[in-house]
Amino acid sequence: MVIMGSRTIVSQLTDARLIDEYQVVLNPIVLGSGRTMFEGVKQKLSLKLKKTRPFSNGNVVLWYEPAA
């Protein structure tokens, strides 16, 4: 299942420990305000970086999995 742009669903699935992998696209723009991606997650979640892929436009895709 791929979830794009729904932090509510991601927070619920994260709290239930049902996500195997997180793919985060980093777009290097500073906005200064807004909501956090994991707003609503109740427990600390340690993630392990598995892979990265940089693009020529400055974007980077980061693959994480929950740490054991």
Q: Is the pLDDT reported for residue 7 higher than 90?
A: no
Please indicate, yes or no, if residue 2 is contained in any of the structural domains: no
Please indicate, yes or no, if residue 28 is contained in any of the structural domains: yes
HEC assignment per residue over 30-61:
CCCCCCCCCCCCCCCCCEEEEEEEECCCCCEE
Give yes or no for a contact between 2 and 9, defined as CB atoms under 8 angstroms apart.
Answer: no
Full residue range of the structural domain in which residue 49 is found: 7-66
Q: Is the pLDDT reported for residue 60 higher than 90?
A: yes
Number of domain units in the chain? 1
Please indicate, yes or no, if residue 15 is contained in any of the structural domains: yes
Q: Is the pLDDT reported for residue 13 higher than 80?
A: yes
Please indicate, yes or no, if residue 1 is contained in any of the structural domains: no
Q: Report which of residues 4 and 23 the model is more confident about.
A: 23
Looking at the whole model, is its pTM more than 0.85? no
**What pLDDT, in 10s, does the model give residues 16-56?**
999 999 999 999 888 888 777 778 888 888 999 999 999 99
Please indicate, yes or no, if residue 21 is contained in any of the structural domains: yes
